[in-house]
Amino acid sequence: MIQNVAIMSDASSGNPQAETSPEWRLAGVIFFGLIALLLLWAASRILWPFIDAIIIAAILVTLTYPTFCRLRGRFRPTGAAIIMLIGITFLLILPVFILVVMLVEQATTLVQHLQSGEAKEILARMDLSARLVFIRRWFPTFDPAAISPQRLFLPIARAIPGWVAANGASVVGSIAGLVVDFFLILLAAFFFFVEGETIRDELFVLSPLPSRYDREFAAQFKDVIDATFRGHMITAFAQGAATAVGLMICRVPGALFWGAVATVMSLLPMVGAAAVWIPAAIYLFAAAAMGHAAYWQGIVLTIWGVAGISVIDNVVRPFTMKGKSQLPAIPLLFAVLGGMQAFGFIGLVIGPLVFSLLMSIIDIYKRSFGIRSSSDTAAA
């Protein structure tokens, strides 16, 4: 004990021989590790509120980096990054802005229509209460008047202006928050464009793994993001096309426009194309009640939406993402759904990414220790 204290005192006084002793090296490693863990914890607490913006920026940069490299051959890195950000802004903001304006216009017209006397006449003609009286034969306590359209829809229509007046400030605040988040995404994307290769090289230097495994992880990260983007886009276009076809068959006005709206809605988690075809089916049933349409149109669209459009999301998305993500279709579906539940919107990418990297870790472990599975042995 006395010898250890003497060594530590010599080290504090600047004795170089004491600094090379095993006790001093162990104390230095422990102290450095504690400081590093403390700083990593503090850094994670600081960056956690912005983690969504950082991850989305990393995804955008990964998807568009080849284009940035071509621009970097003609401009300086900062100039190329600014051009990329301008292009991303226009590609993302303008379509969303136009769609929001159109939806607000349509929603305003719908609210005015619901508050008019014509809407009351339509709901009265539907007369669901009289049509559902037969259910009392099997369920005596059932009250058809409880699901009367007059009770369900008209109070909601009357309450909409009051809700807008009461929650207008929070809606404006949410829009302002979205603008700030998008600005943070652009800042993070600019940094990744300019310093992305430097960050990658530093990570390779700090990684204790052999360089071939570092390159494998980097390639896996890019492949999963590409596969996820491809899967979401193909699924959205498929659902939009299926929605447009269903609306055209059922003779809904503006079928192509609402198919485009369904394409955009399909990109939003927990929303999907149902935000288009369900109101369209309600419109067709209301028109049929007034004698302006046939009931088969609403029935066909409902069946088409439930059995066709909604199934596309669970069938097309996993198979279109299956290729480069190296995940079977069913585990990939669970990865997407579980990632959304755990991390929200960015879970669409994080879920498949975590599972794919986990498979890479298992594969590296098997190769490093010479472990062969039964399928590999059979193939050999």
| Digit-coded pLDDT (tens) for 73-103 | 888 889 989 999 999 888 877 777 776 676 6
Q: What's the rounded Cα separation, in Å, for the pair 316 and 332? A: 12
Q: What is the dihedral of CA 156, 253, 262, 98, to 10 degrees?
A: -80
Q: Are the C-beta atoms of residues 371 and 379 closer than 8 Å to each other?
A: no
Q: Residue 42 — very low, low, confident or very high, per pLDDT cuts 50/70/90?
A: very high
What the block records as the tokens of 85 is 């950000």
Q: Does position 50 have pLDDT exceeding 90, yes or no?
A: no
Provide the residue type at 69 as one letter. C
More confident residue, 195 or 105: 195
Q: What is the DSSP string of 232-271?
A: HHHHHHHHHHHHHHHHHHTT-TTHHHHHHHHHHHHTSTTT
**pLDDT (tens digit, 9 = 90+) per residue, 331-373?**
777 777 788 777 777 777 788 778 877 887 887 777 776 666 6
Q: Does position 48 have pLDDT exceeding 60, yes or no?
A: yes
**pLDDT (tens digit, 9 = 90+) per residue, 154-201?**
555 555 555 555 555 565 566 677 778 888 989 999 999 988 888 888
Q: What is the dihedral of CA 241, 247, 252, 257, to 10 degrees?
A: -10
Question: DSSP state, 308?
Answer: I
Q: Does position 38 have pLDDT exceeding 90, yes or no?
A: yes
**pLDDT (tens digit, 9 = 90+) per residue, 127-158?**
555 555 556 667 666 665 555 555 555 555 55
pLDDT of res. 190: 92
Sign of CA dihedral 12, 16, 18, 24: positive
What the block records as the tokens of 228 is 């996820």
More confident residue, 228 or 104: 228
Q: What's the rounded Cα separation, in Å, for the pair 122 and 127? A: 9
**pLDDT (tens digit, 9 = 90+) per residue, 240-253?**
888 888 888 888 87
What the block records as the tokens of 361 is 């870790």
Mean pLDDT, the chain, integer:
74
pLDDT of res. 5: 47
Q: Does position 324 have pLDDT exceeding 60, yes or no?
A: no
pLDDT of res. 1: 46
pLDDT of res. 8: 47
Q: Residue 16 — very low, low, confident or very high, per pLDDT cuts 50/70/90?
A: low
Q: What's the rounded Cα separation, in Å, for the pair 319 and 171? A: 38
Q: What's the rounded Cα separation, in Å, for the pair 55 and 351? A: 13
Q: What's the rounded Cα separation, in Å, for the pair 358 and 373? A: 17
- What count of residues does the chain have? 380
